Homo-oligomer: A and B are copies of this chain.
Amino acid sequence: MESDQAILAFTALAQSTRLDVFRLLIEHEPEGLPAGDIARHMAVPHNTMSTHLAVLTRAGLIEAERQSRSIIYRAKLDAVRVLAGYLVKDCCGGRPEICAPLIAELTPCCAPQTEAVKEAAHD
């Protein structure tokens, strides 16, 4: 991951409405939500929300797909993985003694024990 893209992502998440939208969209994986519903859910004018959604999209954190009159937004979970990886893995600079404890903390949430999951994650 380029640091320019990381900065885009951090900038996008460094705003409460956008952070909330991003988490809302993760909750609604994998169906997604239309722009109007998102705006109503957050009690934000539709044009303001449109701007926020554009920022998140440019940052690669969400993606849009037109469906008839609505435009459905979805979280890009790949982006979460890449960003978390940028924080943990790339930042550690290949020094397992630093990032191993970080990963150890994350793993209990939902450990990827099986080979099947490892295969799925291998891009």
A interface with B by C-beta (< 8 Å): 3, 6-7, 10-11, 13-16, 19-20, 22-23, 26-27, 29, 77, 80-81, 83-85, 87-89, 91-93, 95-107, 109-113, 117-118, 120-121, 123
Contacts and interface: CB of A to CB of B under 8 A. Distances in A.
Contacts of A99: 109-110
Given A10-B10, A19-B6, A121-B104, A109 B96 contact: yes
Main secondary structure of the interface of A (DSSP, over half): helix
Contacts of A121: 96, 101-102, 104-105
B106 A103 contact: yes
Nearest to A26: B91
Contacts of A96: 109-110, 118, 121
Copies in the complex: 2
30 contacts: A3-B19, A6-B13, A6-B19, A7-B14, A7-B19, A10-B13, A11-B14, A23-B91, A26-B92, A29-B98, A77-B101, A80-B88, A80-B102, A83-B87, A84-B87, A84-B88, A84-B106, A85-B109, A89-B106, A95-B110, A96-B109, A96-B121, A99-B109, A100-B110, A100-B111, A101-B117, A103-B103, A104-B121, A105-B121, A107-B107
